[in-house]
Amino acid sequence: MTPVQEERATELGPSLVCGCESPQELIGEAGFSGLEVIDVTARFRRTCSAWLAAMKELGPQLRRELGDEDFEDELDQKESMLTGIDEGLLRRSLIICERR
């Protein structure tokens, strides 16, 4: 990614979305091997979209439980993640490995 894309991904994604270390480095440091990375972005997008729809449908109840500010923050976060996925800046991966 370009620096501009990284900055945008950081704005749209969850915390530490542009971490310094790759999954390969992290699993090696943790004592794992046999890395397999499966892209599950499409499934995650569907899940995130369904979550967002449910939040909007249950808005009044969730606002009472979470408070307006937290509810709006959650909505914004989900909408931002969908935007990041649609812009090709965010993806979700399933990482499978085994302990050495």
Task: Per residue of the chain (100 residues), give pLDDT as tens.
Answer: 889 988 999 899 887 777 667 777 888 888 998 889 899 999 999 999 999 999 999 999 999 999 999 999 999 999 999 999 999 999 999 989 998 7
Question: What ranges do the domains of the chain cover?
Answer: 41-100
Classify burial at 77, counting beta carbons within 10 Å of its beta carbon; exposed 0-12, middle 13-18, buried 19 or more.
middle
The pair of three-digit structure tokens given for residue 37, joined into one six-digit string? 């990375």
Angle at 37 between CA 8 and CA 20, to 5 degrees: 40
What pLDDT, on the 0 to 100 scale, is given for residue 41?
97
User: Tokens 């990284």, residue?
Assistant: 6
